Amino acid sequence: MRPEPDCRLCGLCESRTNLVLPSGDLDSKVVFVGEAPGETEDLSGRPFVGRSGKLLDKIMQEEGLDRSKVMITNTVKCRPPGNRDPTSEEMAACRPFLDDELYGREAVIGLGRSSCRDLLGYDGKMADIVNTDQSISIKGRDVLFIPTYHPAACIYSKAAREGLRQTIRMVKERFGL
């Protein structure tokens, strides 16, 4: 199930240019989930193509993981005004679409605090859970969830960048990608 092009389930529809739907291998066993589209993503209709996306691509390439072998999506499909974090209500409005995207996957990689809060219910320090095996329920089925840093955090933090790099290395090795 995908949102209708004129989706109005929450207020984010008021300021969006485009819905930002998943990209990459839509049948991949591994899905990377960010929080929300930014300005570049809103304009292009594709996730992780702006500054954070370029850094994610760079780290994936350096670690030998081809972006086209995983699916990449966000917890919400529309850009929040001013690039603010999506609210709980906005994430709840998009949750049925996200659940459909995640159903049947072997692993979900949570990119950043909003993704981890929405999917895992975790609201603490990322450093305490990065690269640990967690479990989430998607439509009644347990799925491996691996929390990691959002690429935006990696722009200014070498520790975050190394954490994300370790996640990508782990995904590549564990899932043969």
List, in sequence order, every beta strand (DSSP E) within 103-151: 107-111, 134-138, 141-148
Residue 169 confidence (pLDDT): 97
- Domain enclosing residue 119, as ranges: 11-175
Is residue 2 one of the residues assigned to a domain? no
Q: pTM to 2 decimals?
A: 0.95
Tokens of 41: 């993503």
Do the domain assignments include residue 1?
no
Asked whether the predicted pLDDT for residue 5 surpasses 90, the reply is no
Helix locations, the chain, DSSP H: 39-44, 51-62, 88-102, 113-120, 151-156, 158-175
90, two tokens: 């906005």
Whether 47 is covered by a domain: the verdict is yes
Q: How many angstroms separate the CA atoms of 57 and 75, rounded?
A: 19
Domain assignment present for 94: yes
Is 6 inside any structural domain? no
The domain spanning residue 134 has which CATH number? 3.40.470.10
Q: How many domains does the chain have?
A: 1
Whether 97 is in a domain gets the answer: yes
- Is the four-CA dihedral 61, 37, 82, 158 of positive or negative sign? negative
Per-residue pLDDT of 41-95, as tens digits, reads 999 999 999 999 999 999 999 999 999 999 999 999 999 998 898 998 999 999 9
